[in-house]
Amino acid sequence: VPCYCEENVWRLAYRKICQQRNRETYHVAFVSNPRGCVPMFEQLAAEDRSQPVMWDYHVILLMTTPVSKDSQTPKTYVMDIDSHLPYPCPLEEYVETVFPNHTDWMEEFLPYFRVIGASIYLRHFSSDRSHMFNAKTKTWNAQPPPYKCIMPMKNSDEPNSESERNTTNALQQYMTISDQDVVDSQNQNNEDDPYGQIYSLSQLLQR
């Protein structure tokens, strides 16, 4: 669904995690920065493919393969359904293509990544879609998905179990990466934090 990447990735993560015999590890990554303006190339939303889309935030799914007899090093891929790139795309190729020459960018445009374990995201994410509704005109900035709003799962593995949900809206906390978040990220060490951990682009490549 266009303009609802956080929900598209939630549904994608749910399908991947529920697949039997799935040995890969999945993480959800919100891309943003303190300014709320990140240039991203090779995006389907761009009128000119050679130009970037300036996203206030974007959401992608990271898939990491396990160590095996054929590969002694885990490899991470990006699943970005809003991109022209291969699906999935090796993380290094994705970074090089979507954020070209990023070492030369002004600091205010550099991307940061809020990375959350996919199973944690499935349990804690919620959105009432109010960020896409214009209260003055009583219209949607983008047509919402036809299914019900996603609300956090409590003690159930079933995403449609309304009895185990509440009606909070956590999207704002996921999509926002503040200056303080960036500072605090230097001391983060809790991978079970429901709002994930913040990484710079170089840190993402090294994690």
Catalytic residues: 5, 58, 80
d(CA 169, CA 184): 23
Show the DSSP H helices in the chain as ranges: 5-18, 91-98, 118-124, 171-175, 179-184, 201-206
Give the max Cα distance, the chain: 59
Q: Is 170 helix (H, G, I), strand (E, B) or coil?
A: coil
Q: Which two tokens stand for residue 205?
A: 């490549």
Residue with tokens 């994410």: 125
Cis peptide upstream of residue 2 (ω within 30 degrees of 0): no
Q: How many residues belong to the chain?
A: 207
CA pair distance 179, 169, nearest whole angstrom: 22
